[in-house]
Amino acid sequence: MKNILVAGGCGFIGSHLCDHLLQRSDVGLCVVVDNLWTGRKENLAHVQDPRLKIVVTDVEAFQSDVLFDEVYHLASPASPPWYMTEPKRTISANLLGAMRLLHLLKPGGQFAFTSTSEVYGDPLVSPQPESYRGSVDCTGPRSSYDESKRCTESLLFEMRRTEKLNVRVVRLFNVYGPRTRPDDGRAVSNFITQALAGKPITIYGDGMQSRSWGYVDDIVEGLARFFWRDQHGYDGPLNVGNEREIPVIEVARHIAQLVPGTTLVHRDPVPQDPTNRRPDLTIARKVLPGWECRIPYELGVQLNLEWFKDHLKAGGPDQQDVRVA
């Protein structure tokens, strides 16, 4: 039986990943370490599995007597208003987090890391293949996230080169869906929570900046296949996302139609907001044959809207927390 460690397991994607991990019969222990900075215990409140243990602490400080067969490092805020407020802490979570977690991996164990399409910055080629070196301003206001993901990739791939570390790195493209914080601050959740609150949807700039929206169920299916289910032998970075590229304003208009009476308002563009983002899935198709994002944004947004309706109706501390991003 395997010991599994999920750093950031109370987060949006981390909690979905835990659901999948706990479906495995070869998992004897699943330890989640999370400081609840952006993660929430509610995201795992439905789990009644004695194999799950949640430890509330910073990943950089996590101590453990047991070593782990598989380590999943998802401990990082992923939304600009969060990481831009605490850049040092963001760098620490990713990079010092990775260094700490490497100490807790069994020799020969597998280390998985959720990197990001933000390593491509504001890309000058489209779609972005994994070989694209990116266009990130390492002095800019998004850099704590982008550069700490890049540097953590470097750490892991250099550990692979020099010490044969068994690594799995995915670059995720704009994931959305249930368990996003209402105050997350990224486009889809912002638009939905604004519409449900009877407020205008805020578009930064003209809204023509594009994203490739991946519904969380599709994305986590890809992660499960890449991280443990498929035998593929690929250990480079892997784009995991939806190759259908949609302007931000199109999603906003769709949500405004779903919530009658909703209007749109434009504000100044966010500094260094990427103009476009679309994964090249050539490698993903080879490594994970048959996998793709099946849920179109029209359906995904509706599913997410229903979830937010139920969730916001239930009340709780999150409703007071909503921040304008």
Catalytic residues: 145
CA–CA distance, 63 with 42 (Å, rounded to integer):
24
CA–CA distance, 307 with 303 (Å, rounded to integer):
6
| Pair of tokens at residue 47 | 């789990």
Which residues between 89 and 128 bind a copy of itself (CB under 8 A)? Answer: 91-92, 95-96, 99, 119, 121
Q: C-beta of 128: minimal distance to a copy of itself in Å? A: 13
State yes or no: cis peptide before 247, omega within 30 of 0: no
Nearer to a copy of itself, 48 or 139 (CB): 139
Q: C-beta of 53: minimal distance to a copy of itself in Å? A: 28
Vertex 41, ends 61 and 149: CA angle to 5°?
Answer: 50
Which residues between 147 and 186 bind a copy of itself (CB under 8 A)? Answer: 147-148, 150-151, 153-155, 157-159, 161-162, 169
Select the residue interacting with a copy of itself from 137, 217, 245, 292 (CB under 8 A): 137
DSSP string, 249-290: HHHHHHHHHHSTT--EEEEPPPTT--S---B--HHHHHHSTT
Q: C-beta of 140: minimal distance to a copy of itself in Å? A: 8
DSSP state of 228: I
State yes or no: residue 134 binds a copy of itself (CB under 8 A). Answer: yes
Question: Positive or negative CA dihedral for 174, 178, 181, 186?
Answer: positive
Nearer to a copy of itself, 157 or 307 (CB): 157
State yes or no: residue 135 binds a copy of itself (CB under 8 A). Answer: yes
State yes or no: residue 236 binds a copy of itself (CB under 8 A). Answer: yes
Number of helices and strands (H, E) in the chain? 11, 13
Select the residue interacting with a copy of itself from 141, 205, 247, 296 (CB under 8 A): 141
Provide Rg for the chain, Cα atoms: 19
Residue 18 near residue 9, CB atoms below 8 Å: yes
Q: What are the backbone angles phi and psi of residue 208, rounded to the nearest 5°?
A: -85, -5
State yes or no: residue 144 binds a copy of itself (CB under 8 A). Answer: yes
Q: C-beta of 83: minimal distance to a copy of itself in Å? A: 9
Per-residue x/- track, 19-58, a copy of itself (CB under 8 A) = ----------------------------------------
> What residue ranges bind a copy of itself (CB under 8 A)?
84-88, 91-92, 95-96, 99, 119, 121, 133-141, 143-144, 146-148, 150-151, 153-155, 157-159, 161-162, 169, 236-237
